[in-house]
Structure 1
């Protein structure tokens, strides 16, 4: 009997919500077959089994929250299930995957995790996590027919008799990497890992599929409201539903609350004539329609140039346990940008964005937006920003008093670009205008710095040719 513990799905997350089971007790499963769909605070993930055999126990019901390191599923893999003993066929060191504390290999991986490698062995999870399971809503219908994923018992028995069945997973510890390989039709057993002790990493899979992109994950189901009865004592109205705040929404709520409660924010804004920028881009598009960056890429390029002149807005204010405070300065800019998805507002970030051209920024913006909307963005991509750019003009609004993406120090918002009357060279003209709004942490800089940065970006939009020439 092997018990698979819920692994750390990334960035030290402590729990995940069990959205739906993809298998049932008594089913025969194969290595790497998805057995459950879970939702963390950052993404929706199908969790594959590292064992083959017969499902003995499903630990938990759909809708429950399961702590990392707690049992997820128990699988009967011994001869009692009509399959060979695991030790007879385990390959690539995979036999080390078992209950915590059972062997030296597992301990080695736990030591690696404590050292901060970010690698977490499936079946081990994060040590010393404790919590209480709580039923939060009725089970959702599985997106995948579990029966279609289960190999026929006769076929499984025939394979076992031949002595070729694989009972445990190869040395690939990340569910997202397993999914990438599975979607590409790639057998992990055929790969040689480039990580420590032959560990299969994401780059190994990407190289094996010759740069092919993994299919986008399905959009996460919308949160379901749990019907409830009763009357609200404050309003006197009947309560028709109760929707638990969890997963991504809970994380967003916590960050927004922390931002408003801890950061003394201030706001400055300016109207900007974007006519010259639109004309510049239109000219580029006529000459090269398939290789012209979007407006967000140009705006990102101007923001990065502004942060180079006013680096205070790319710092972080931190307070120590003794009450002392300091400002952290960074060697580079991880530029976050707000992306609206079916699961809510996400802020993926472009690492070392200051090193990229407008075309490269455009490609990264498109890639990360697609990943965030499909649920494939990694926790690191969603939590590593140092400054955020928010284009709320796509919602048809002119301005917004945005909330800083905690724990960053500033966020720049861009409103819609519309025709408005504007004075040019002493005469009234119709121009393409937008509004820039900068919200900043007043602890990291004063209004002069914030105003200087905002004016620099505004001047770059109004005179893009001269600024782009220096980038």
Structure 2
């Protein structure tokens, strides 16, 4: 067996099961160092540069740009410096170890304790393992105890007896691969699941994002996936994936066009160029897989609609005073004047301090009951349009920033997401979202809440409208504020109070800013 190391595609956050390979940053034969970026992959709403945990010579690139790779499968094979060229040392061990990692199954669906390696993994996941994507940092000491756990010998192919040093080396290589199999990005501890459970869910069409784990701290177990597989709604969700030839018995076989089929389209290579849609009778001009950012948005919006009983309130606001204030500041300090979004962000954070119910999150407790989680701070997300779609980066601890500091963060994060360089923390840590859809020339929108948040505030375009001021009709700069909120966390009084607070701040900005 050679000394080649195989790096497996890590879990890039929230139990994701796959990622799209965008491009390779290295080639076969290249000499690479530890933490050197080797590939760009796209998952959820972020483009991530994956760094190598090994130094040496690139032997194999496992995948082509544009291909979708499964988490836990080989990404790159590296031969350490000075090691002879030979067979890849990690592939067979990882293929054999991954299915055995979770051990057996008891009557209640939980994994048995017969597999010490699998049990250690489950304990790490429930506690929020310190294992992270190599290059993003690991807490001091993390990984040391994990490397000293001996894997169960029966889980690997038998090999001739070697000297003691040889056996230790083989075990350490296997442990390296298993540790990489369960790597994670820091700050995304959620309901983590084992590779075996992820594979089971994927093969059976179970949406892990919709499951409430029955394990400790919401950990998703095998029994949770099995229960979802037998539930009626699981059958309904899988039905669109199956071909439905009976819809047109008199026709030649065609790609299925049943409900939802265009969400899971047939690859272009698998259909005739002149295929006809059975439902409409129109020719199909194009089919493309829903992936990357659009796939993530679709999943998140669907989950939001399914889980959140939302309500919407709105109000027209006279923004003339705010525009006048900004114009006067720009005349005095043109280089450092905050944009309108920065002022609105300042008003929103002030409003959330007064109405903290809208800066919360609902989670499922261990006993299945709902808990309302409040936060000591505000991570303010804002919608930003990019070439790859709409993304929502968040300003961390936004309540502690001035309007100028908020403006700087808005500009920085907008540039980062448009370059596809945002980190998972910058894209997935928001507690409330601000959406300026007025830039598209529209007045209002009943927005979908950015799950798992509980509210989103939208701002429409600012236009001239007739407005009564001191009993006289005048032309004013008017906009519409729209708040969509989770009715489980508060009633209309709280939502209306928050919306009115922000509206009053827009109409009288100096009054609020001088009090902050």
| Same fold per superposition (TM over 0.5) | yes
Map of 2:5 onto structure 1:
2
1:29 is the counterpart of 2:31: yes
Equivalent position SS for 1:20? strand
Question: Does the 8 A contact of 1:110 with 1:120 survive in 2?
Answer: no
1:286 is the counterpart of 2:331: yes
Deviation, 1:2, is 2.4
Map of 1:126 onto structure 2:
182
Deviation, 1:120, is 2.7
Distance 1:5 1:281, change over 3 A: same
Q: TM-score, normalised by structure 1?
A: 0.69
Supply the distance in 1 between the matched residues of 2:36 and 2:494 (Cα, whole angstroms).
Answer: 54
Distance 1:375 1:111, change over 3 A: farther
Supply the distance in 1 between the matched residues of 2:122 and 2:358 (Cα, whole angstroms).
Answer: 38
- Matched residues, number: 360
Supply the distance in 2 between the matched residues of 1:353 and 1:14 (Cα, whole angstroms).
Answer: 32
Equivalent position SS for 2:357? helix
Supply the distance in 2 between the matched residues of 1:286 and 1:349 (Cα, whole angstroms).
Answer: 30
Map of 2:18 onto structure 1:
15
Deviation, 1:13, is 3.7
1:61 is the counterpart of 2:106: no
Distance 1:370 1:234, change over 3 A: same
Supply the distance in 2 between the matched residues of 1:34 and 1:316 (Cα, whole angstroms).
Answer: 35
Q: TM-score, normalised by structure 2?
A: 0.64
Map of 1:386 onto structure 2:
431
Question: Does the 8 A contact of 1:53 with 1:81 survive in 2?
Answer: no
Question: Does the 8 A contact of 2:48 with 2:423 survive in 1?
Answer: no
Residue pairs, 1:231-242, within 5 angstroms: 231-242=276-287
Supply the distance in 1 between the matched residues of 2:498 and 2:52 (Cα, whole angstroms).
Answer: 51
Deviation, 1:469, is 0.8
User: What stretches of structure 1 move > 6 A for 4+ residues in a row?
Assistant: 108-114
Equivalent position SS for 1:469? helix
Question: Does the 8 A contact of 1:267 with 1:439 survive in 2?
Answer: yes
Supply the distance in 2 between the matched residues of 1:13 and 1:118 (Cα, whole angstroms).
Answer: 16
Supply the distance in 2 between the matched residues of 1:362 and 1:271 (Cα, whole angstroms).
Answer: 24
Give the alignment partner of residue 360 of structure 2, picking from 299, 307, 315. 315
Deviation, 1:78, is 5.7
Question: Does the 8 A contact of 1:21 with 1:37 survive in 2?
Answer: yes
Map of 1:250 onto structure 2:
295
Give the alignment partner of residue 423 of structure 1, picking from 427, 444, 468. 468
Supply the distance in 2 between the matched residues of 1:434 and 1:389 (Cα, whole angstroms).
Answer: 15
Residue pairs, 1:371-410, within 5 angstroms: 371-410=416-455
Supply the distance in 2 between the matched residues of 1:24 and 1:410 (Cα, whole angstroms).
Answer: 46
Deviation, 1:49, is 4.1
Map of 1:42 onto structure 2:
45
Question: Does the 8 A contact of 2:326 with 2:337 survive in 1?
Answer: yes
Gaps of 5+ in 2: 86-92, 98-119, 136-176, 184-193, 203-266
Deviation, 1:338, is 0.7
Superposed CA offset, 1:23-62 (max 9, x none): 554x333326654332222322343445455443332333
* Root mean square deviation of aligned Cα: 3.1
Deviation, 1:110, is 12
Supply the distance in 1 between the matched residues of 2:52 and 2:374 (Cα, whole angstroms).
Answer: 42
Give the alignment partner of residue 382 of structure 2, picking from 308, 331, 337. 337
Gaps of 5+ in 1: 83-98, 102-107, 135-224
Equivalent position SS for 1:371? helix
Equivalent position SS for 1:282? helix
Superposed CA offset, 1:105-129 (max 9, x none): xxx9999886444633376142642
Superposed CA offset, 1:416-453 (max 9, x none): 11111111111111111100001111111111111111
Question: Does the 8 A contact of 1:310 with 1:449 survive in 2?
Answer: yes
Question: Does the 8 A contact of 2:381 with 2:433 survive in 1?
Answer: yes
Deviation, 1:364, is 1.1
Map of 2:391 onto structure 1:
346
Equivalent position SS for 1:241? coil
Equivalent position SS for 1:413? strand
Question: Does the 8 A contact of 1:55 with 1:76 survive in 2?
Answer: yes
Give the alignment partner of residue 453 of structure 1, picking from 498, 508, 512. 498
Distance 1:431 1:315, change over 3 A: same
1:72 is the counterpart of 2:72: no
Question: Does the 8 A contact of 2:47 with 2:422 survive in 1?
Answer: no
Question: Does the 8 A contact of 2:51 with 2:134 survive in 1?
Answer: no
Map of 2:101 onto structure 1:
none
